[in-house]
Amino acid sequence: MISPRLARRIAQIHKWLGLIVFVQLLVWTGTGLFFAAVHLTDVRADHLVHPPGDAAPVDMSRVKVSSTEALKAVAEDRPFDVTLKTLVDAPIYVVRAEIGTFLVSAETGEQVIVDETLARKIATATWTEPTPIRAIEHLDAAPKESNVSGEVWAARFEGEGNKTLYISAVDGKTSNPRTDLWRTYDFLYGLHLMDYTDHENFNTPWMLAAAILALSTVLFGVALLLHRFTRGLIKRETE
């Protein structure tokens, strides 16, 4: 049986641990309720863009340049891989080289630059809704919310939710659609994981510390419960 003095000390520790852990428990409960209430399909908003498999097949009648010639167009950059695909409505070679990725027109053999005009075409062709582009801007570095690296074009569409599509200025690759709902979910997910920077790492020191404190609170509570239970039994036996 725990002595009354030790029981009082355990009760004090249990109280303060409960107050400390309470905030994070409230965050875990609140964010978990949000995750359960919101459909992940709405968060991802995949309906806003055409699936990758919907890309138009290459019109071989428009291919005037061979893959060998496409490699020669960027020979000085030491290319090692070439892929033929359709970009918007034109056949394009995507050439990967040691220093980066390049686009070469399969019709003319010239390098293709993803400028604002082409970025607008890519965004419009990728977007499923008829809403027009409200603004498009060039960013030297892709923001964290996009899954595109390097320089990008950010196409922001009309309508609610600040819907945004990022287009790589290097190879024309598009990001997943981003909306305010996705940003809210991402922020709350970071709070839930206690990863306040990347919002994706479960194994953070903060998470470990919170888990240890929560477990300690439970164990101290169990100790108090056992103490009060055994004390009550002893009192009954002595009466």
* pLDDT tens, N- to C-terminus, the chain (239 residues): 566 667 677 677 767 777 777 888 899 899 999 999 999 999 999 999 998 766 778 999 999 999 999 988 887 778 889 999 999 989 999 999 888 899 999 999 999 999 999 999 999 999 999 999 999 999 999 999 998 889 999 999 999 999 999 999 999 999 999 999 999 999 999 999 888 887 777 778 888 888 888 888 888 777 777 767 666 544 444 55
Tell me which residue has tokens 């008829």.
Answer: 130
- Separation CA 106–CA 112 (nearest Å): 10
User: Of 38, 45, 198, 69, which is closest to residue 129 (Cα–Cα)?
Assistant: 45
User: Of 131, 149, 147, which is closest to residue 139 (Cα–Cα)?
Assistant: 149
Q: What is the pLDDT of residue 225?
A: 75
Query: Is the CATH number of domain 54-112 3.40.50.720?
Result: no
Are 81 and 100 within 8 A, CB to CB?
no
Q: Domains of the chain: which residue ranges?
A: 4-42+185-238, 54-112, 113-177
237: its two tokens:
């036996």
- Distances 123 to 48, 73, 154, 166, 169 between C-alpha atoms, Å: 11, 27, 9, 8, 12
Q: What is the pLDDT of residue 233?
A: 44
Beta sheet of 100-105, edge-to-edge order: 79-87, 90-97, 100-105, 111-112
Q: What is the pLDDT of residue 237?
A: 45
